[in-house]
Structure formats: structure tokens, C-alpha cells
Amino acid sequence: MKNIIYFCPRINRPIGGIKVIHRHSELINTLGGQSEIYYDRPIEADTVDWFPHNAKIRTEYGFDPDSDLVILAESVVFDSWRRLKDAGVEYAIFVQNGYLVTESISQQEARECYAGAKHIICISDDAIRCVFQFFPQHIDKVIRVIYSVDSALFAPGEKENIITYMPRKMKLHSSVLVPLLEERLPENWRVVPIENMSEVEVATTLAKSRIFLAFSDFEGLPVPPVEAALAGNFVIGYNGQGGREYWNPPIFESIDSGDLVRFMDAVLKKVNDIDRYDLTLGDNHLIMLRDHFSKEMEVRMLKNMLSVIGDAQGES
């Protein structure tokens, strides 16, 4: 079995896709495989530290064509794929956001890059849909995986009349909506931004919150709305396209991107329903969501990925 090396964007701030890469690499090692993470450029810290992980970190560039398989994040392929190809090193592409396949390279380079990839690993049905649309001739290379959310960490707590959101997501939209919303909310409600927090702090805040505002823009399988829902929040907002995989009522309410008037109306109506009917998300509402984003599901898909990679290695 190849040593699987994840080329990871070196960003030491809360981004769901980076947590997924570390989690998958860590799990591969527990499943009998070999995996490391190589950061694509220097950062201040030696490693990503805003959430706990035991992923192995590779500090030196240099890969063995006989023993290494490098997995490139779709948004940071740059010229890495060509360098790997010229060196005879097999590479795969991890598509967590199908809308970013040409973010760091041109369309022509993307065609060559995906043609040379040994595997195309996709985090969601939407990511597969994008790959099929852009590179239909390579759909046979696709391997489906998923991430898990710790439902023990992200769980409902003692609820307060709090609405949460992440200012880093679609800042223009939230900067318009939130001040207007605050003017219309009952006095016993408040809006709390989630920023500059560790994973535990985020979970603690979401546990107290009742409503989460989702500002997801072109995402493969947005993580924060799942975490918010599992923490007992009604989630209102943009599904980012990839969120359609799980964006089901009564937990989730979809708003067309940019429709801030309807967004505000939906939030105010939910606040009124909560105040009037003591509306809450019951455990029965969360069963399917917990199953979909469970560690068991994540492990099952990673085992399949390792099996496909091993079979492909045997054929080559």
C-alpha cells in the first residue's frame, strides 16, 4: 500500500476542509494504512492547532515514486501536479469544493492535471456532479468519501435566545443582514458572532444557540451548518449547493443566495415560533444527520478508498 501524503493548504485558522484533511490522514493510520500531511507553504505555527489531532506531519519536500501517493487539495494544485508527474510520483486530487478546480490553474492546465491524476477523491455528491460536468471522461477515477462530526462534542446544551453566525463567511451578506436583524429582534434575543474560537469554544457557543445563520457560498459539503444542527440549532440560510445533500426540514431552511429580505423574514418567523411554541429540535430530528456524518460512515468510505488505491496499485 502506498504512503498517502496529503498536500494541505497551510492555513492555521478554522476552515472545515483543513480539519477534514487532518482527520482523514489520522484515520488512515489507525486503519492500517500509512499517511502524512505536508503543508504547501510555511506558516507561523509548526502545525495546525485550532483543533486536536494526531496527524503525522512531513516537514521535508521530496517524494518516492515507488512508495508515495500524493493527494492534492483541489484549490492548491498550482504547479505541484506537473512537478509530481515529471518526477514519476502518482498523485490524486481531493475535491472538497468542485467549484474551485480552476482556482489555482487555468482551464487547460486543469484538463491536463485531472487527466494525469490516478484518483479523484470527492467529499460529496455535489463534488462528484462538478467533476462529471467538467471532466466526464475521468468519472471512473472518482472515489467518494465523507467527513464525520463528533456528535458528543457538537451536542445541544442549555439553550439561550441566541442566534449565531460566522462573520468570515460571505462578509458582505452578513454585514447587511445582522444589523438589520438586531433592530427587529425581541429584546430577549441577541446575535453572537463565532470568530477567533477553538473547536471546543465553537461547540460550546453552538450548544447554547437556537438558530444558526448559514452563509455558505459554493461549497462541496459545508461543515458549520452540520455542526450547528447537531448542537440543536435550526439552520437558516444558503446551502452552498453542496449542502443540498443534507439540507432537509425541519432542521434546515434554504434561502436563495442574496435574498436577504426573505432571509430576515425566515429568521424572525423562527424566533416567533420558538417564543410562542417553545420550539426545539428533538433527538429524533437528528438521528439521520448523526448517521450520515458518523465516524462509522467516514471509516467505511475511507476503507473503500484504501481498497481502491490498493487495487489500482496492484494493477499498475
205, 276: one domain: yes
229, 132: one domain: no
Going by their DSSP bridges, the two strands 3-8 and 34-39 should be labelled as parallel
Tens digit of pLDDT at every position of the chain (316 positions): 899 999 987 776 778 889 999 999 999 999 999 999 998 765 555 677 788 889 999 888 889 999 999 999 998 888 899 999 999 999 999 999 999 988 889 999 999 999 999 999 999 999 999 999 999 999 999 999 999 999 999 999 999 999 999 998 899 999 999 999 999 999 999 999 999 898 999 999 999 999 999 999 999 999 999 999 999 999 999 999 999 999 999 999 999 999 999 999 999 999 999 999 999 998 999 999 999 999 999 999 999 999 999 987 766 5
Q: Kindly report, residue by residue over 102-160, the tens digit of the pLDDT.
A: 888 999 999 999 999 999 999 999 999 999 999 999 999 999 999 999 999 999 999 99
State the residue range of the domain holding 131: 3-148+294-315
125, 102: one domain: yes
Q: What is the pTM of this model?
A: 0.93
97, 67: one domain: yes
Q: The domain that contains 61 carries what CATH number?
A: 3.40.50.2000
The answer to whether position 268 is within a domain reads yes
Q: Kindly report, residue by residue over 13-22, the tens digit of the pLDDT.
A: 778 889 999 9
Domains held by the chain: number:
2
139, 167: one domain: no
Distance CA 139, CA 119 (A): 10
Do residues 196 and 217 touch, judged by C-beta distance below 8 A? no
142, 247: one domain: no
| Torsion of the alpha carbons at 189, 195, 198 and 201, rounded to the nearest 10 | -10
The answer to whether position 104 is within a domain reads yes
Do residues 40 and 68 touch, judged by C-beta distance below 8 A? no
307, 252: one domain: no
